[in-house]
Structure 1
Amino acid sequence: MSIAYLDPGNIESDLQAGSVAQFKLLWVLMSATILGLLMQRLSARLGVVSGMHLAEVCYRSYPKIPRGILWIMVEIAIIGSDMQEVIGTAIAIYLLSNQKVPLYAGVIITIADTFTFLLLDKYGLRKLEAFFGFLITIMAVTFGYEYIVVKPDQVSVLKGLFIPYCEGCGSKQVLQAVGIIGAIIMPHNIYLHSALVKSREVDRTKKEEVSEANKYFFIEAAIALFVSFIINLFVTAVFAEGFYGRNATDIGVFLGCQFGLAAMYIWAVGILAAGQSSTMTGTYTGQFVMEGFLNLKWKRWQRVLLTRSIAIVPTILVTIFSGIEDLTQMNDLLNVLMSLQLPFALIPILSFTSSKKIMGDFTNGVIMRILTGVLAVVVISINLYFVAVYIQDLPQSWAVLLAIVLAVVLYMTFVLYLVSINLSLSVGQSVCPTINS
């Protein structure tokens, strides 16, 4: 679960936040992480109390066509995350090879690393978790080293963290703030966490055991997200201090020339660890989502082959005909895409965990319902604002405008439809077993 907060999309978002807004968006990073923890808590509680993960509850709650559309939306988020992993790994290999291995070759190499993780998966989930912990440690050490070497201004760091401001910010900075939210609160991670908690045995006939499991899963998630937040903070602060106003093509120059070649290679190792570890996150999520929404089981290698193929084709075309700067822009748009998919995870998880028939005595309280409801409204509003800003940069033609208006109408129609279905859950029939049943 922690890996989804440290994948290449997050690292790239951190880099861009520092380069376009210095320390001004650190409070957005911290706020998004806290809200992410809130969502992970709800996700874990759903899995612990009901004994079913989010996709399985959706399968039992929604009609066939809306369920299919929802599955497609989640799959888009998974593929987008997979594309970010491909981009991050390719850039890391490009830097580690001193630019001798072209970007398109690095993209192709990512096919092999996927099957390496499938091999590790055979040795059990706990060993795989330990390996993930090792990769997170690599990221903490490498990015922490960069932080110590660059020595960002600590007063500016603290001001950026605790004072919500963005003086002089324009559409570029606002777009980056949206990207941070999309990179941190990832929709497919909410589906993933609700399934991962099922790997621990909990006696759901005993309320005390369920309550205890909820408490320790929350503590576990809080520690994991605190570590991921510190690493994200390291990256943002480093590039806010010395990378402000530059573009992604200058990464190697900035780190290599200003702080020595070791700094550049250490950065690349951290990115490589982020890319490698995020591979299996998408794999596991895709497996749970497909089994839950479609009641269809594929072998993991088949699932990986499908999503990785979809992710690699557009990425390799960009690397062949463009460069690292275009990959950066592509990564930014993928973060925004994640943000646009958020309602399709937020609305179900908020509704299901607020349903007495699903959660029994563990349903959300009034305060939690208000907080999460406000969060959902804010996120959807941010998405619509982004669309309005983004439209201004597109070619002004009737065809483009009509396509955008149609897309927005369809998007909002489906979001409102999901809201109406979930409101009816409070008076509907129970969809999954609870400790009360």
Structure 2
Amino acid sequence: MQSQTLHKVMTGLFVPQLKGDGATGLAISLLGAMVMPHNLFLHSALVLSRKVPRSVQGIKEACRFYTIESAFALAVAFLINVSVISVSGAVCSSANLSPEDQISCKDLDLNKASFLLKNVTGRWSSKLFAIALLASGQSSTITGTYAGQYVMQGFLDLRITPWIRNLLTRSLAIIPSLIVAIVGGSAGAGKLIIIASMILSFVLPFALVPLLKFTSCKTKMGPYANSSLITATTWVISSMVMAINTYYLVTGFIKVLLHSGLHTAAIVFAGIFGFGGMLVYLAAIFYLIFRKNRKTTQPLLSDDAELESTGNIASIVTHLPREDITSMQLP
């Protein structure tokens, strides 16, 4: 039984299938919820929070350590998501489900998902699931707050008192969601999560493409630019993300038009505006892809030949103080 489950999990990882109504939309929302484009800005900004020697070797050491940190965090997130999906599939495909659980599996949402842990944790399943949701919500809100801080400083040069900044960013994140939860109830909140995650996936190219171009450009990064293999791999993955987003937008909009029940003239005008908006969306992405990098802004190095001659830069990096990211100001 365990070998069959493992086989199905591995098959699902390497041979993905989109079955059922709305499967593509759920896949897009899952992608947006996992990657979260604002976290790309956050990870880049966190590099500035650690004091490292401004030398060639010092920057390479810092890049290596941050690669390990990011890979570990993403691997843990990946394993958690695989575990959640695997448990859901294993429970809902069981032949011994009660009629109530079968109904829950047909329309599975956050309100009904706690029963998935019932066979393992018993009556504590709902409590543990609630704690997990609270923890994930706090993590998402905190990262959004930090990312908002760096975007405000880096793009808008807007620097305000930390407690005011935290109040504004958290209020902007919580108040709209709270209103939807009060008006629409738990069902409305669940739909809002899916819609918000899908929007994150749609805006992902606007954060991902500039990041890939920047880190792969020798004019910008000099010797720290991505290798040809990493560049090719990341662009292939990014192209797949953009392709599935475009596919869902086009097919979803066509379905809405066909089942809208509007008059022919209204459908024509809606189609013009809808597909016009999609063309603008694609044009903006292509502009970012083909925009030329002309300005040279390679990392500045300090006069630290003495540090490099000691051959002990790794220990120096370890003992340098890390600035509190809540009060860190970008240069």
Whether these two folds match at TM > 0.5 is yes
Aligned to 1:110: none
Q: CA deviation at 1:267?
A: 1.0
Match of 1:217 among 66, 80, 88: 66
Match of 1:347 among 165, 189, 209: 209
Between 159-168 and 183-192, the greater mean CA deviation after superposition: 159-168
Contact 1:358 1:434 in 2 (8 A): no
**Residue 252 of structure 2 aligns to which amino acid in structure 1?**
Y
Aligned to 1:377: 239
Gaps of at least 5 residues in structure 1 are 1-151
Aligned to 2:136: 274
For residues 154-200 of structure 1, the C-alpha deviation after alignment (integer angstroms, 9 at most, x for no partner) is: 53244223453355714422222222221222211111011112222
> Residues 398 and 301 (structure 1 numbering): CA distance in 2 closer, same or farther, change over 3 Å?
farther
Q: CA deviation at 1:436?
A: 10
Equivalent residues, number: 281
Q: CA deviation at 1:323?
A: 2.5
Aligned to 2:271: 401
Measure the CA separation in 2 of the matches of 1:431 and 1:177: 38
Q: CA deviation at 1:344?
A: 0.9
Match of 1:321 among 157, 177, 183: 183
Gaps of at least 5 residues in structure 2 are 93-104, 304-331
Measure the CA separation in 2 of the matches of 1:246 and 1:409: 34
> Residues 185 and 310 (structure 1 numbering): CA distance in 2 closer, same or farther, change over 3 Å?
same
For residue 53 of structure 2, give the secondary structure of its aligned residue in structure 1. Answer: coil
> Residues 193 and 384 (structure 1 numbering): CA distance in 2 closer, same or farther, change over 3 Å?
same
Aligned to 2:295: 429
> Residues 369 and 293 (structure 1 numbering): CA distance in 2 closer, same or farther, change over 3 Å?
same
Measure the CA separation in 2 of the matches of 1:170 and 1:388: 18
For residue 247 of structure 1, give the secondary structure of its aligned residue in structure 2. Answer: coil
Contact 1:171 1:389 in 2 (8 A): no
> Residues 303 and 363 (structure 1 numbering): CA distance in 2 closer, same or farther, change over 3 Å?
same
Contact 1:183 1:335 in 2 (8 A): yes
- Scaled by the length of structure 2, the TM-score of the pair is 0.76
> Residues 168 and 403 (structure 1 numbering): CA distance in 2 closer, same or farther, change over 3 Å?
closer
Match of 1:359 among 215, 221, 225: 221
> Residues 258 and 392 (structure 1 numbering): CA distance in 2 closer, same or farther, change over 3 Å?
farther
For residues 281-327 of structure 1, the C-alpha deviation after alignment (integer angstroms, 9 at most, x for no partner) is: 11111011111111221223333333333334432332223222222
- Scaled by the length of structure 1, the TM-score of the pair is 0.59
For residues 19-69 of structure 1, the C-alpha deviation after alignment (integer angstroms, 9 at most, x for no partner) is: xxxxxxxxxxxxxxxxxxxxxxxxxxxxxxxxxxxxxxxxxxxxxxxxxxx
Measure the CA separation in 2 of the matches of 1:294 and 1:359: 23
For residue 260 of structure 1, give the secondary structure of its aligned residue in structure 2. Answer: helix
For residues 352-405 of structure 1, the C-alpha deviation after alignment (integer angstroms, 9 at most, x for no partner) is: 112212211111222222112222221111110110232144335344333322
Contact 1:350 1:372 in 2 (8 A): yes
Measure the CA separation in 1 of the matches of 2:271 and 2:186: 30
Q: CA deviation at 1:337?
A: 0.6
Q: CA deviation at 1:419?
A: 1.9
Aligned to 2:80: 231
Alignment of 1:407-422 (within 5 A): 407-421=277-291
Aligned to 2:100: none
Q: Say if 2:245 is the partner of 1:245.
A: no
For residue 303 of structure 1, give the secondary structure of its aligned residue in structure 2. Answer: helix
Larger radius of gyration: 2
> Residues 371 and 377 (structure 1 numbering): CA distance in 2 closer, same or farther, change over 3 Å?
same
**Residue 287 of structure 2 aligns to which amino acid in structure 1?**
Y
Measure the CA separation in 1 of the matches of 2:113 and 2:11: 28
> Residues 168 and 274 (structure 1 numbering): CA distance in 2 closer, same or farther, change over 3 Å?
closer
For residue 203 of structure 1, give the secondary structure of its aligned residue in structure 2. Answer: coil
Measure the CA separation in 2 of the matches of 1:167 and 1:200: 42
Measure the CA separation in 1 of the matches of 2:21 and 2:300: 47
Q: Say if 2:196 is the partner of 1:196.
A: no
Alignment of 1:304-315 (within 5 A): 304-315=166-177
**Residue 169 of structure 2 aligns to which amino acid in structure 1?**
T
Contact 2:220 2:295 in 1 (8 A): no
> Residues 384 and 327 (structure 1 numbering): CA distance in 2 closer, same or farther, change over 3 Å?
same
For residues 75-115 of structure 1, the C-alpha deviation after alignment (integer angstroms, 9 at most, x for no partner) is: xxxxxxxxxxxxxxxxxxxxxxxxxxxxxxxxxxxxxxxxx
Between 387-396 and 291-300, the greater mean CA deviation after superposition: 387-396
Match of 1:288 among 144, 150, 156: 150
Task: Give the aligned CA root-mean-square deviation in angstroms.
Answer: 2.7
Identity of aligned residues (%): 33
Q: CA deviation at 1:266?
A: 0.9
Alignment of 1:53-202 (within 5 A): 155-163=4-12, 164-166=14-16, 169-202=19-52
Contact 2:141 2:173 in 1 (8 A): no
Contact 2:214 2:221 in 1 (8 A): yes
Q: CA deviation at 1:201?
A: 1.5
**Residue 311 of structure 1 aligns to which amino acid in structure 2?**
A
> Residues 361 and 223 (structure 1 numbering): CA distance in 2 closer, same or farther, change over 3 Å?
same
